[in-house]
Copies of this chain bind each other. A is one copy, B any other.
């Protein structure tokens, strides 16, 4: 199913130290079926992995590749007992074990270091924590605070009186508007904007008259956002992105909206203003939520859902308008045969008229 992927020729993040499968098994509390002494130097896909590489199987869709992979070892769930060529590393949660091995072998991107570059623009009234990196063409405006070890890539912008916590990474061209607040360990990918004015106008005399947007946007600890997202500042109070929540790319959040902790928002999701979203919600790609709605905890929304009502906790929804997923799926099954249904009704009407004609 997967396309052929060329072998990794990239410079590795990692240390190029070989680890035995036995060592990795210990790391992930797994059980080896096969040769535990095989030396692992890299992680790769089932298709591309070679004898000294480890792969993983977590999506059953790729199950058949277990038969053909040339990987030296494969991380699998406890359900899988053997593979023709690879040793197996059985674990409770293959995807999480894969993550643990990735971190062990590669670690994370090495961030640039070296203090404040001479071509950076840091206000004399800004406060920089210990070990902060400000790359060329990055700006920290007056009164802003940047916490220890935080990295500002080139062209990143921290506005007046804004606060960025410790160990944050603001990639190239990230913008944090005045007075907005980022917690600790926040990662914002390139082009993401926090705290632009919300879409607030009072229409009067034929003109859309701008309402000062004096609130802020607050991004809590451990949030990560993809590229080119946009989070409005609140008119009053705060737009909040809860702790541990992750966005993919091109996500738009309206003013005054509060996103709970540990949510996942996939690419191109758009949430209007004054929405409350609970904890552990998962919003698939291109979902839209109308303004002023209250969404509970652990709500899951299928891709492209259009949400126009409050949704209680725990529900999974689908569709436009979005409704409970099982009901929605039945409707969709009927929908893709709707033309046939209409034709059937027409035929039935003729039969009915004929019956009525019999007297």
Contact = CB atoms under 8 A, between A and B. Distances in A.
Contacts of A330: 338-339
Interface stretch (A19-27, A76-84, A125-133, A167-175): A167-175
Contacts of A190: 157, 175, 177, 193, 196
Contacts of A171: 175, 177, 196
A267 B276 contact: no
Interface of A: 1-3, 5-6, 8, 10-14, 43-45, 48, 59, 61, 93, 95-96, 98-99, 102-103, 106-109, 112, 117, 119, 121, 135-137, 139, 141, 143, 153-155, 157, 161, 171-173, 175, 177-179, 187, 189-191, 193, 196-197, 199, 201-204, 206-212, 214-216, 222, 224, 226-230, 232, 234-238, 240, 244, 246, 248-250, 252, 254, 256, 258, 262, 264, 266-268, 270, 272, 274, 276, 284-286, 288, 290, 292, 294, 303-304, 306, 308, 319-321, 323, 327, 330-339, 341-342, 344-345, 348-349, 351-352, 355-356
29 contacts: A1-B276, A3-B276, A5-B237, A6-B238, A10-B161, A10-B215, A11-B179, A13-B214, A43-B236, A99-B209, A103-B211, A117-B121, A137-B139, A139-B154, A175-B190, A177-B190, A189-B197, A193-B227, A208-B262, A228-B228, A228-B250, A252-B285, A267-B272, A272-B303, A284-B290, A285-B290, A320-B320, A341-B341, A348-B349
